[in-house]
Amino acid sequence: MKIAFNEGTTFESATLEQNLEYCEKYGYDYIEIRTIDQLKDYLQTHTLDDLKRYFDTHKIKPLSLNAICFFNNRTEEDEKEIFTEFKDYLAICQKLECEYICAVPSNIDVTEKGKIKVAEINESAVRVLREFADLAKPYGVKIALEFIGIPENTIHTFKHAYQIVEQVNRDNVGLVYDTFQFTGMGSRFSDVEKHMADKIFIFHINDVDDYPTGQMRDTDRIWPGYGVIDLKRHLQLLKDLNYDFVASIELFRPEYYQMKPEEVIRKAKETTEEVIQKYFR
């Protein structure tokens, strides 16, 4: 299995340039580029051509643009802006030869109505993801839906996310399987079945402090193997599904933002490899 670095892990402490330098130094295979800030900052003094040249001359490659955020159940005006942003992302993907765009569903506080019934969530998410898929197809880009394991998100379990992906019914729409998100709202291992394997596009690995279901937040994430997530069971499940593409480390812990970025990137890879080595090479 390949190892990737998600820039959220250092977004308060490092630039894209630093992340690339240290990820290359410590042997990462991929990077998930944080488009909402680190890429924007990079493009203040560089071009996409500069970034493409870097990838062309180094081992590390782009895995995904992370992310198109809060895409469903928005106002008409908001949705137009989201599609404009998505088209910009497609152009970036084409330039960088980046295969995936991660899509994050809306929290209820940004939706048009606030609290929404499930049928309305499904209708909006399926419609928008189908439009994304059709726009992305000529570019060879895939959309990875990342359910968010907190109560205030509109799609917060693996089961619900898979149901939406199944309704979308496009080859280029699948899932991000994130161990924190899976744990956060009590997704069940029994809901992950063999026939779903080809819809798991990206695997995010992390761990979390011991808080009750529904109370875990991104800031509670911790190095893999240091928390309460049953990573052994997740990894065995992925192995049983014949998923062996990539494990991307994604943490948002405030203490880690106070550390030197190089140390965080080194430690993140070290702890990830320690956890997965029994299951994947």
CA 170, distance to chain mean position in Å, is: 19
- The least confident of 85-89, 95-99, 113-117 is 113-117
Task: Find, among 229, 242, 131, 109, the residue nearest to 180 by Cα.
Answer: 229
Residue 65: CB atoms within 10 A of its CB come to 25
pTM, 2 dp: 0.97
Fold designation for 2-277: TIM Barrel (3.20.20)
- Whether residue 144 has pLDDT greater than 90: yes
- Whether residue 281 has pLDDT greater than 90: no
Q: Could you check whether the bond before residue 247 is cis, i.e. omega within 30 degrees of 0?
A: no
Residue 260, sorted as left (phi over 0), alpha (psi -120 to 50) or beta, turns out to be: beta
Q: What is the pLDDT of residue 79?
A: 98
Confidence class for position 280, pLDDT limits 50, 70, 90: confident
Note the pLDDT tens digit of each residue in 85-96.
999 999 999 999
Note the pLDDT tens digit of each residue in 12-65.
999 999 999 999 999 999 999 999 999 999 999 999 999 999 999 999 999 999
Please return the burial class of 41, using the count of CB atoms within 10 Å of its CB with bins 0-12, 13-18 and 19+. middle
**Tokens at 97, concatenated:** 């030869």
Q: How far is CA 136 from CA 94, 132, 146, in A?
A: 10, 6, 17
What residue spans define the domains of the chain? 2-277
Q: How far is CA 85 from CA 9, 16, 47, 123, 155, in A?
A: 23, 20, 18, 21, 21
Mean predicted confidence (pLDDT) in 231-247: 96
DSSP string, 215-250: T--GGGEE-TTSSS--HHHHHHHHHHTT--SEEEE-
Chain position carrying tokens 């995010």: 204
- Identity of the residue numbered 144: A
The β-bridge relationship of strands 142-145 and 100-104 is: parallel
- Identity of the residue numbered 270: E
Q: What is the pLDDT of residue 278?
A: 85
Q: What is the pLDDT of residue 68?
A: 98
- pLDDT over 70, % of the chain: 100
Q: What is the pLDDT of residue 202?
A: 98
Mean predicted confidence (pLDDT) in 58-85: 98
Q: What is the mean pLDDT of the chain?
A: 97
Note the pLDDT tens digit of each residue in 199-215.
999 999 999 999 999 99
Answer for the pair 68, 85: CB distance below 8 angstroms, yes or no: yes
Note the pLDDT tens digit of each residue in 147-195.
999 999 999 999 999 999 999 999 999 999 999 999 999 999 999 999 9
CA 266, distance to chain mean position in Å, is: 20
- pLDDT over 90, % of the chain: 99
